[in-house]
Amino acid sequence: MSFLKRLFHSWSSDRLLGRIVKNSGLLFTSNTISAILSIVTANLLGVEKFGALGIVISFVSSINRLLSFRMGDVVVRYMGEYVTRGELKKAGALVKAAGLMEAGTSLAAYLVLVLAAPLGARYIAHDPSSTPYFFLFGISIIGMLATETATGVLQVGNRFKGQSVINLLQSLVTAVIIVYAYFTKAGILVVLLAYLAGKLVAGIGPMLLAIRNLNQTLGKGWWQASFKLLPPFKELARFAISTNLSGTINMVVRDSELLWVGWLFNTQAAGYYKTALAVINLMIMPINPFISTTYPEIMRSVTQKAWQRLRQLLRRVTLIAGGWTLAVGIVLVLFGRQLFFTAWIPWNGELHAIYKSEFLPALPLLIILLAGFGLANSLYWNRSLLLAFGMADYPLKVAFWATLVKVALTVTVVPLLGYQWEAVLLSLYLCVTVAILARKGLSEISKKEGEAV
C-alpha cells in the first residue's frame, strides 16, 4: 500500500505530466462528439454513400497534405527554441515566413484539386457526377490557409484551452447540421456541408487565436521582424521538406486508405473500411490529444538538456497510452460485435445497434487494425522525439522504404486477396515503423546522456 501511495504522489506531483494530461483532456470532448457524429452519419447514409463521403473528404484532405510542409512542426521546433531563449524577433520572423509559405501552398493545393477532382470522381468514387462534391469540400483548403502555422503557435504558447473551445465549436456546428439531416432524411450534400462548416470553423479559429497570442507574446509589431533573422535557409528548407515528405508518405500509407480501397474495389468496401477506422478512432481518441500537447514538452526538455525528466515523461505517457490501449483493445476483441453490431440500445420501444447490420463486415477489419494502431497509440511520441532532436530525415527514410513495400503489395497482392489485406498491410506498416523510430529516439537520449557525463 505504501508503494502505491508513493507512486500516486510521484505521478500527481509531476507538473510536466499534469500539464499534458490537463491540456489533452481539454481536447477530448470535441473528439467524442466527432466520433458520435461519424456513427450517426454512417447510419443515415448507409454503407455505399458513407464510403463515397469518406472518399470525397479523404481525397480533398490528401491533396492538401500533399502540398503541406507541416508548418506546425517547423514552428514548434524553432519558435519554441527561440521563445525559451528570449529571442522574440527571431520567433516573429519564423512565424511570418511559415505563415506565408503555408498560405501559398494552400492556394496551390486548391488549384491542384480543381484539376484532379474529375479524375477522383471517375476512378475512385466511380461516379463522375460526384465531381461537384469534391469542388465543394475543397473550399475547406482555403479556409485553412495558415492553420498549421497557427496551431504550432498555440502549442508553443500552451494555449490548448482556446483550441479546445474551437474544436468543440466545430463539432457543435457540424452536429447541428447532421442532426437536422438525420431527422429530415437529407442526403449526402447536406452532410458534406455539415463537415465543411466544421472545417471552416476549425481552420479560421486557430488563426485568429494565434494572432492574438503573438501580439501578447512577441509584441504587436512581431510581423515586422526581418527575414534576415531566420535560420540558414538550407537548414530551414531541409527541415520543412523532410516534414513535408514524411507527411506525404503518411498520407499515401495511412490517411488515404479509403482512396486505395475505393480505387481497387468500390464505395461499399470503402464504407466498411471507414467504419472500422471510425471504431478504431474511439480507441485512440483519448490519446490523440496527447500528441500535440506532448511535443512542446519534449522540445523544452531537449532544449534544456533535461534527459532524466524526458525519460520519465516518455515512460509515464507510454504507460498511460499503453494501458488504455490494451484495456480497450481487449474489450473490442471480446465484445466488439455485441457492442457495435448487436441490438441492445432501446429507442422508440425497439432495440437498436450502434451500427446497422449492413456494417457488420467492418468487424474483421477492426480486429486486424487493432494491432498496428494499438502499438502506434502506445508509442505515439516516436516521431515527435526525433523531430525534437532535429532528426526529421530519419523518420522520412524509414517511412520511405516501408512505403515502397506497402504500396507495391497494395497494387499487386490486395486486388487478388481482397480489401481485408489492405488492413493487414497497414497494421504491419505501423508496427514496423513505430518500433524502429521509438528505438532510435531512445538511443539518442542515451547518446546525449553519455555526452553529458
As a whole number, mean pLDDT of residues 300-304 equals: 88
As a whole number, mean pLDDT of residues 153-170 equals: 84
Q: Is the pLDDT of residue 311 over 70?
A: yes
Contact criterion met (CB below 8 Å) for 430 and 376: yes
Classify residue 347 as exposed, middle or buried by CB count within 10 Å of its CB (0-12, 13-18, 19+). exposed
Cell 501578447 maps to which residue? 216
Question: What span, in angstroms and rounded, lies between the C-alpha atoms of 430 and 242?
Answer: 19
Q: What is the pLDDT of residue 4?
A: 47
Cell 500509407 maps to which residue? 253
* HSE of 189, CA atoms in CB hemisphere, 13 A: 6
Contact criterion met (CB below 8 Å) for 238 and 99: no
The percent of the chain in helix, strand and coil, each rounded to the nearest 5, is 85, 0, 15
- The per-residue pLDDT for range 400-442, each reduced to its tens digit, is 899 999 999 999 999 999 999 999 999 999 999 999 999 999 9
Q: What is the pLDDT of residue 113?
A: 96
Round the CA-based radius of gyration of the chain to a whole number and report it.
22
- The per-residue pLDDT for range 205-247, each reduced to its tens digit, is 999 999 999 999 998 889 999 999 988 888 877 777 777 777 7
Angle value at C-alpha 134, between 204 and 98, nearest 5 degrees:
35
- The per-residue pLDDT for range 43-58, each reduced to its tens digit, is 999 999 999 999 999 9
Contact criterion met (CB below 8 Å) for 177 and 212: no
As a whole number, mean pLDDT of residues 159-181 equals: 87
Q: Is the pLDDT of residue 261 over 60?
A: yes
Question: What span, in angstroms and rounded, lies between the C-alpha atoms of 213 and 133?
Answer: 36
Q: Which residues of 107-128 are buried (b: 16+ CB within 10 A; e: fewer)?
A: eebbebbeebbeebbeebbbee
SS (H, E, C) 4-16: HHHHHHHHHCCHH
Other Cβ atoms within 10 Å of 245 Cβ, number: 19
Bigger pLDDT: 343 or 439? 439
Q: Is the pLDDT of residue 96 over 50?
A: yes
Cell 471507414 maps to which residue? 274
- The per-residue pLDDT for range 104-125, each reduced to its tens digit, is 999 999 999 999 999 999 999 9
Beta-carbon contacts of residue 19 (< 8 Å; ≥ 6 apart): 158, 293, 297
C-alpha cell read off for 135: 469542388
Cell 524526458 maps to which residue? 310
- Domains contained in the chain, number: 1
Q: Is the pLDDT of residue 158 over 80?
A: no
Q: Is the pLDDT of residue 3 over 50?
A: no
Contact criterion met (CB below 8 Å) for 268 and 53: no
Question: What span, in angstroms and rounded, lies between the C-alpha atoms of 141 and 145?
Answer: 7
Supply the range of the domain harboring residue 300. 2-452
Bigger pLDDT: 294 or 276? 276
Contact criterion met (CB below 8 Å) for 37 and 174: yes
Across the strands, what pairs with 350? Answer: 347
- pTM, two decimal places: 0.82
- The mean predicted confidence, pLDDT, of the chain is 88
Angle value at C-alpha 189, between 185 and 195, nearest 5 degrees:
100
